Amino acid sequence: MISVSNEFGLDSALHLSGGFPIYRIDSATAISLLDKMTEYKRYTRSEYFFNEMAHNWSNDFVKNKTEFFAISQLERISKTNSNKFDSLIVLDDKLAISIVKQNLISLDSVLLKSYKSNLLLSDTLKEMFPSGFVRFFKSFRHGTLPIVRAYEDCNKNCYKIMQILDELKSDKFDSKKIHYHHNQLRPYQQNRDFFRFQEYYFEYDTTTIKLSADYNTISELDFQNETELQQIIKGFDEDKCWKFIIQNDKKGFLDLGCQFAPLSGYGIKYKLVLIDKNRLQIIKIEEWIS
């Protein structure tokens, strides 16, 4: 994956991982890949890769990376030009969760600075509003006016920043301010639970099986001749099904799924851990039906 990222880029390397949380089986590789991520771009493989780690794993490197991305986005938000009403930047919910999960209380001054910048801009925009009568009739023809959307974006940022400060238990949090910005937003924009966007990692239904032969690594496992393993992959040998495994020494992930019968629209993912040469721990991490 490192060599692929060097030649074709980080997202190409992450495509090879099958979306698995590779930091769970190879923290060194995960950190090396994350080190190549220099910009936070929403809806990319690298953004998901970073946030999945930041929401579930804490160490100095991930914490510093979160701080870097947070400061970069907050600075961009603070520098928003008041004349460009159509494209104001709103703080990403997943990045907000990462800030909280990494307990970045050191960012409270940066957060407050961005808050004040957005508050000032929102006040400026409000002074430029056309009358309520004009806004009402123009909304029928043009929808929400750009200047109103920009005003709402500023209040979204102020609201989210106060939420973060609250979650961080910062003395810079102000309950009156968050209440004020809550009232400036439309009802559907007032959902305070940005943790609904959190990336979760679960392990459940752990089973340990005894293998008929000795193995040194996950890559050596003989799925064709191990009876217990055959039971796991049974039915996934048909056309339009897949068996995908990614491994690092004695740990790995197994992804099984089918698009058509006999297991149409069904899939399951496991974490594998070779705890002895002839004992394998099988942990279910995801199961889905489409």
Query: Per residue in 51-70, pLDDT tens?
Result: 999 999 999 999 999 999 99
Locate all alpha helices (DSSP H) within the chain, ordered by sequence: 2-8, 10-16, 27-35, 45-56, 60-78, 93-101, 108-127, 132-142, 146-167, 175-184, 227-233
Beta carbons of 158 and 181 less than 8 angstroms apart:
yes
Q: Which residues pair with 273 in a beta bridge?
A: 251, 281
- pTM across the whole model: 0.89
Composition of the chain by helix, strand, coil, percent to 5:
50, 15, 35
The pLDDT of 269-282, averaged and rounded, is 97
Q: What b-and-e string marks burial along 14-52, b requiring 16 or more CB atoms within 10 Å of the CB? A: beebeebbbbbbbbebbeebbeebeebeeeebbbebbbb
Q: What is the pLDDT of residues 178-235, one digit of tens each?
A: 999 999 998 887 777 889 999 999 999 999 999 999 999 999 999 999 999 999 998 8
Q: What b-and-e string marks burial along 186-220, b requiring 16 or more CB atoms within 10 Å of the CB? A: eeeeeeeebeeebbeeeeeeeeeeebeeebeebee
Q: What pLDDT was estimated at residue 261?
A: 72
Q: What pLDDT was estimated at residue 143?
A: 53
Q: What pLDDT was estimated at residue 263?
A: 77
Please state, in angstroms and rounded to a whole number, the distance separating the CA atoms of residues 160 and 182: 10
> What is the CA angle 10-16-20, rounded to 5?
95
